[in-house]
A and B are shown apart, each in its own frame.
Chain A
Amino acid sequence: MPKKYAVLLLVMYLLLFASSIYLYEMKHSNPVVTDSGQLLPIKMKSIKTATTEEELQQIVKQAKKDGDKLSIAGMQHSQGGQTLYPNAIMLDMKGYNKILAFDEKAKTITVQSGATWDDIQHYINPSGLALKVAQSQNIFTVGGSLSAIGHGRDIRYGSVIDTVESFRLLTPTGEIIEVSRSKNAELFPYVLGGYGLFGVILDMTLTLTDDELYTTDNVTIDYQEYTAFFEEKVLQRDEVKMHMARISVAPDSFLEEMYVTNYELAPNQEDLTEYNKLKGEPLIALPKFLLGLSRYSDWGKNIFWETQKKYMETTNHKLETRNNVMRSDSKFMEYDSVKQTEVLQEYFVPVHEFSSYIDDLREVLEAEKDFNLLNITIRYVDKSDQSIMSYAKDDMFALVMLINQGRTKQDIEDTGAVIEKMIDVTLAHDGSYYLPYYPYPTREQLHRAYPNAEDFFAMKRKFDPDELFMNMFYEEYGK
């Protein structure tokens, strides 16, 4: 074949290759998600979407008339069936995502509840404003985050609920009411952190803050120094605005070595505009590969930890805007496997309990050789009573654990046994645990972690006596 044609064919192939990958990425930028734990497959009656409040009202009224149950779903990253109920109609809120109002001067924004934090960031970033509190990843819907009280790296603005001025609720009777700290105030602490059990949050007004330029400061420390470090070098220094940490799950330094990342106000705020382009997802092949290795072996876990540490060193003194710090990568954690899945657990312990808690946790986990713990990240939440179901009973550290497990009944039981032990340790240190994960904890553990749970479920029955809004979490723990 003449060289000319060969080159032409090769160029054609490369073009097709690039467009295939491009289209594939496009197709998967809005994946159809089931409950992300994948351990609770539930057959729903139907999935309904709506773009107007009239449509939503109609769906609620019709379901009430027909005796159907409703469950509410955003991105469905909760793993405890909070968005699912057998034979219920699932309200998919993702399309209900308009930005309704934006007041740059007052620094407030009103959005429909299906909007994601990413949508808001894109809207407000050009005006030099930023979110106050959101999860580290920005893929979740605002309605979902507030129903599950998401939290992230911010350490100065309290709970995400503190950033809500007011919201409108579509109630189980099909009415629309306004709820704030002054109007229908009794509902406020139940609906936020209410896991969709009180009705559909239609839209809400959130308060914003200025976008700022931060420098990243990474330090490796021993877990025993962490509490003192956090109080002296983080909380007491006003220039530190955000914070996160990791503790090793690698066998060589298991639950001992940590690295912490502080985001401090940079001296050169005037340069903000050079850095405020919102970042996209970076190339994920390497972290994904390393996480893959660590799923398989202790050896892989050691390598993953060492590489993470080295990577952190390279990002020291990096300048990043507040908005960009609040849009961290999560894609490399996506995991396709037929037999295995990855679940999350999150435990909260008071800041002062941290080092003794880690010692006790290590004792539990060292006896569980088959328990495949892949990652632990740590963030800070300050005490909040804004929701009846608040997990932050004190100023606490939140430990998020990524666990690889099988999908069989036996696998679920095995993981459940370890998790029950970990929760017992957590509760013994006056801690609590995050609710939107697989219902491994016992009822008794739930009530110990959430002393107001009884009150919460009673209010649910009072406000929604026909139990129109249902989900697996309520079924498991509330009935």
Chain B
Amino acid sequence: MDLTYTAAEEEFRRELRSWLSANVPAEWRRPGFWESLSDEESFALRRDWERDKALAGFAGIEWPTEFGGRGGTPGMKAIYDVEMVLADAPRSVNPLGLAFLAPTVMAIGTDAQRKEIIGPLLRSEVIWCQGFSEPGAGSDLAALSTRGVRDGEDFVVNGQKVWTTNAVHGDKIFTLVRTTPGSRRHRGISMLLIDMHQPGVDARPLKQMSGASEFGEVFFDDARVPATDVLGAVDDGWRTAMLLLSFERGASGISQYTEFRRQYDEIAAVARRLGRDRDPVVRGRLARVRTELECLRLHSMHVLTQVEQGRDLGFEASATKLQWSETFQDLWEVYDDVLGEHATLTELADLDLRPLNAQAFWSRSVTIWGGSSQVQRNVTAERVLGLPR
């Protein structure tokens, strides 16, 4: 058992901390700061900051140096994830591009694609969206019907994507499109890399139940994409998508643990402030969720160990997602228990409850996106436990 990081990893932590303390403005740590900005202002600020961070060498931590990464260890990536949360660094403007598209392009992209996509993505010069879900294809992704028809050197794309993160800010979208007319299920699909700045693409925000608009819809109306802008082979897009999603498997949950632990402490502080910490039922509920949070921390050390040992975690990623997302949701249900009749108030005594409620509402979404809890349970039952389909 060795729960420490190497000297080189700790040195990396010191460098990163020092950069973050000099480059995260104090104002950003003020509760409610980000909520006080418009969506446009917030995105622009985060985009510039993320570019500066990349230019300082604190991006692509585990990427090979040939792609502009740092060539760091899995331990450095874990440290990076933790320190970003502890420093109150803003959320990434390119989460899906960085986590999923980039490693896929490194693995199977053409030389031209590697050159064009990876550097600008790392520096947030190009914001990438993911075009997978459709109104008729949510958990059942293979039911997608957006179609692309070959026309000379281009594909002409028609259809609609939905739940698209950063849709209104996107520059490009990696999109699953049915390129063989009449093909069924997993066959005849290609992953097209579509420029969103063209008349045939219309991105609209979706207002969520929280009031925020992290997601949107993307409509394709005779959008054009050069036939060379296919990631992987034409009609082999399902395989490309599965490869792309496999890069989630190394995710340990340490970033989620760090964030949720702080939220636990905040909720505990509210409980103390309201005298609710003396209620035995509230104490029991908080302790139950803290137990699950500690398990998440240990699980993240387990995942990191497996990654460092070079093992493929396979479908164990479903257990990781279930543990963090269900625990996060439980945590914010406890918040409601703590607040009791005040659960929907925007303020109480001298407490500003808006940032807390933003998280409480957001917690309803995490068991849906990225593979719903029900899908993750199917995967766990069939692929891990071996129960019949």
Q: Report if A and B associate in a common complex.
A: no
Residues of B whose CB lies within 8 Å of any CB of A are none
Residues of A whose CB lies within 8 Å of any CB of B are none
